[in-house]
Amino acid sequence: MTESWKPVLILMKGHPGSGKSTVARCLSELTRICIIDKDDARDCLTSLQSFADTTKVNLNALSYGIMWRYAQTQLLCRNSVIIDCPLARIELFEEAKCMAEQASAILIVVECLASDVAVWQSRLEARASIEADTNKLHKPNSWADLQALLERYNGCDKWNGTTDIENYISIDTTTGQSPQEVSAGLVNTLASKGLVQLSRDAGRRM
């Protein structure tokens, strides 16, 4: 590792069911960059829901705090990180940007889009069925739930059009390509800009 080498902070952005978590996992396999998933923290806090309801503690905000703390530790150790969360508010991006600057890390935003609504809806409802008996009930578990979430966002999730992002890539995950193919294309794009490197094992598999 040279003194000029900088870690990268990859922010996955996208609505539930957009494919961002699947792409994040594939991206991690190809680059050997670790993932920090906000929902991992949120899942672990599910048992505190009754306490949170009584005390007005915001478990979602707490989950983000845990996620950012882990990410900061890794970046300060010069380890690259993939953040998996909806990234629906510009305040979250600004927090990540500040963290990247403090660690001299390169900030990348990868937005996963689902232009085919039928595929998006089918994907979301299939996931909800699988997770019905788990501790992931804080996630939207129907298309109606997702629409209600988007209504609460009231357009705040479209912040990327209002701020300058040096390294921004959007990918459509409903074009018929597999997550592996989408991720391989993403890695090639990032590698061509000198932002990431393909792991040796992944290079032999591709």
pLDDT of 200 reads: 63
Torsion of CA 151, 157, 163, 166, to 10 degrees: -160
DSSP code per residue over 112-141: EE---HHHHHHHHHHHHHHTTTSS-TTS--
pLDDT at 106 over 80: yes
0.85 surpassed by pTM: yes
Q: Give, in order, the Cα–Cα distances in Å from 69 to each of 43, 53, 138.
A: 17, 24, 22
Give the separation between CA 144 and CA 29, rounded to whole angstroms. 33
H runs (alpha helix) in the chain = 20-31, 38-44, 49-55, 59-76, 90-102, 117-130, 143-153, 179-192, 200-205
- Domains annotated for the chain, with CATH where assigned, are 8-199 (3.40.50.300)
Read off the pLDDT of residues 16-34 as tens digits, 9 standing for 90 and up.
999 999 999 999 999 999 9
Give the mean pLDDT of the chain: 90
In eight-state DSSP terms, residue 159 is: G
Ranking 31-35, 92-96, 176-180, 199-203 by mean pLDDT, the lowest is 199-203
